[in-house]
Every structure is written in structure tokens, then in C-alpha cells.
Structure 1
């Protein structure tokens, strides 16, 4: 875990893989780390404000997380996030083949059988639009996987 940067309004944290951003989790979370290191105080936040969480990334995923220092900044950043004014970019290792580049445009929603997983559903009125643009960056030969 590393604090990469901060302003008067928010923190930018490099979250390692295999750590949830916030509970429920049976292991230590990013929120726990923020509290333990004095970056946030739960008493400064209402429960509904989720202690400054602006967005999450999957527990298995490493990457940048933005954490607000106050409720007003949290609300503003969440609006930017939800309006897609802030763009997320992922780099992934793929085993197999894919086209050089492409777009996957399929609606997603939470799986009724597993609330933590999102799945693609066509013709489901409660599903949200999701667009994934991808581009192959490099091809490698990996042996003995």
C-alpha cells in the first residue's frame, strides 16, 4: 500500500491486489489501512458517507484509488466518476488470443446468486450500460503456466 499523492481535498492511493477497498471483508481492507495510518477518522463521517470512498476496484485488482478527505469533495468526485468524466484504464494479462483492438458493449448487473459478482445480461431492464475498449499492447510467449 502506498500513498502516491494528496491534495487538500483527496488522497491518491496505490492499492495492492487481494485487498478489498472496504468491508465486508474477512481480511484487512484499504479503509482499515486509512484509519490505522491516521488518514481518516470514522467519527468525522456519517455512516452513509462511507468514510470518503469515491470509487472501488475489485479486491483482486491492483491500482489507483481516490479517497476524499471531506464529504463535499466526496460528493463532487463521485458525480464526476458516475458521469464518466474520470476515465479508468486497466492493463491485463490475457492467456489466449484476441483481436488487435475492439469494443465490448454489453450491459452488466449484479448476479442474483452472488452479490459480489457482476455479469452480462442482454434484455435485462435493470442492467447498466458498460463499454470496454481494449487494445493489445504486446504478445509474449510464456511457458510452463
Structure 2
């Protein structure tokens, strides 16, 4: 059933989408605009354009489709979740590698969304089941989940305004001399529609990175997203010719450095996903206004690969010293 609210006289002459945002503050402006265009939000029972001027006393009605999520095909499933922060308005969890966020082709269930509906049944009535953003299947780390429509609207607007700070750790191929910024627009690949590519005319995409640890043939980076496009870090790192280790789409074929220790060789051969982890997250709480900062440790496979790289680096340094002493 649609919610109906009379439009106050003081809003006369303003655009319908802006007035609707004031009358229904639990939803973001982008959500409301889409619903107006789809006919889910009406003025005096009539479908109108978002910029239609309103008059005092008219009736604004909203039948938000996301309120029907409890009847969707996504089922609740008991899948373990690693919660790192939780209150009545939001949740921050640490997603393991290998867990798909949304059901889709090839992954009809067993996803993070299924797990969320089991752990937090109230998400059935929240837009997108509380999800604010996503991570690729084989990327690990922090994700924000809204537990109410009000929190979802405010967090979505904060994400769009680039007020939620996300920092990643990425292991790339090659010894980077220094950090920097990649400012290169992204769009769908012109041939392979499953891939993203740097393309003129694409959406703005900006990635900042700095060297956290350097190895003879690899570099561990701290990465900060200014924008959050699909596959952004993976594509940008490949674009500057330092692809992420193990990336099956944008990376290079497996190459074990000459003279590598057996441990490193085995670790590189066994690492079959992109070495990318959403490590730190900072945001303003959508209700209290306090600053929330959380962190997530690297997964065990990523930690093991770093240990192997450090062991290899020490072995190479020891060998170099022996040769210098001869």
C-alpha cells in the first residue's frame, strides 16, 4: 500500500523530486528520482516528471518497490558471518575471499545476501537488503550494511558524496619505486562486456596508492579509493603496468621469479585469486553522527604469501652478502 502525504503550502513551486526527498527522508534522492521515473511515486495519483513543480495541498504518494523485498526470491541461509561492528542502525562485516555478495547467474544462493537475511531478518524490508556497496567474489574485507531504510538512505548518500573512506591492501607484480595516483575513466570493455577498461568518455575513477612494503619482484600497496567503480583498483593497477598478484582477469600469467625460494614458488602457484583486501573503513554514523573506524586483518592466505615474500627477500639479501664477502 502506498504512503500518502499532503504537500505543505511552503513547498509550492519546488520540484517534485526535491519535495519528495523532504517528505520521505528515509530514502536517498537518487532512489526517489528512480521511483518517480518508474511511476512508483505520484502526484495526485498521476505519474509526473521529477522536475514537475508542485502546489500546496497536492497529495504525494510513494509505493517503494524495495519494501516488497521480503517476498523476493532471495532466501535466508545460515552462513557464518564475521561481524566487526554492530549496532541497531548498521553492521560492518569482514567478507572472506570466495563469498559472492549477490545471487546471480551461477550463484543462485550461498551468497552474502542470503547470509544477511538469516542473521538480520529485518533486512527483508530494507532497500537492497541493507547493502551499500559490494566487493568482488575473491576480494576480502570490510563491507557496510544498513539495518534500516533511514540508515540505508543516509549511507548511500554518504557513499555517493565520497564521505565513506575505504582503504585497501593490494599486492602487485613489480617493485614500485613510489606511490602515486591513477586518474583514468572506466567503462565496459568494448568487446568483452564482463571486463572493465580505461576508456575516454567513461566514468571518473581516481585511485590513490602508496608503497607499504617493497620486495625484489613485488610491492605491497596501501590503496585509497576516491571513487568506487567496478573493478577499479584491479583495472587501474593493470593500467599502470603493476597488475595485482593472482588476478585472473586483469593480471599476468603466473610467473615465479628466478631464484625464488621453494616456499615462495609454492605460495605464488597456490594463490588463485586477486591479492586485494578491504582493510580499513571510516564513516560518519548515519544516526548518531559519531565517527566509526574499523579495520580487518589480512586473510590467512594473504598473510602466508607475504611471509613467503619476506623469507625470499631475506634469502636474497643473505646470498648477496655472501657474494660480496668473497
Q: TM-score, normalised by structure 2?
A: 0.39
Q: Distance in 1 between matches of 2:102 and 2:161?
A: 22
Alignment equivalent of 2:156, drawn from 64, 78, 89: 78
Q: Does 1:34 align with 2:116?
A: yes
The DSSP-based 3-state class of the residue aligned with 1:94 is: strand
- In the alignment, what sits opposite 1:44? 125
- Equivalent residues of 2:175, 2:216 under 8 A apart: no
1:141 is displaced (CA, Å) by 4.8
| Number of residue equivalences | 138
Q: Are 2:94 and 1:19 equivalent residues in the alignment? A: no
- Using the TM superposition, give the Cα deviation of residue 128 of structure 1 relative to its aligned residue in structure 2, in angstroms: 1.2
Alignment of 1:126-141 (within 5 A): 127-141=202-216
The answer to whether the Cα contact below 8 Å between 1:101 and 1:135 also exists between their aligned partners in 2 is: yes
Unaligned stretches of 5+ in structure 2?
1-80, 218-259, 269-326
CA deviations 1:36-66 (Å, max 9, x no partner) are 3x31346424xxx211111111111101000
Aligned to 2:128, what secondary structure does the other structure show? Answer: helix
Match 2:185 to one of 94, 104, 107: 107
Q: Which has the higher contact order (CA 8 A, sep 6+)?
A: 1
Q: Structure 2: how far apart are the matches of 1:117 and 1:67?
A: 26
Query: 2: distance between equivalents of 1:82 and 1:2?
Result: 26
Question: Residues 4 and 116 (structure 1 numbering): CA distance in 2 closer, same or farther, change over 3 Å?
Answer: farther
1:9 equivalent to 2:84? Answer no
Inter-partner Cα distance in structure 2 for 1:73 and 1:115: 33
In structure 1, stretches of 5+ residues that fail to align are none
Name the larger-Rg structure.
2
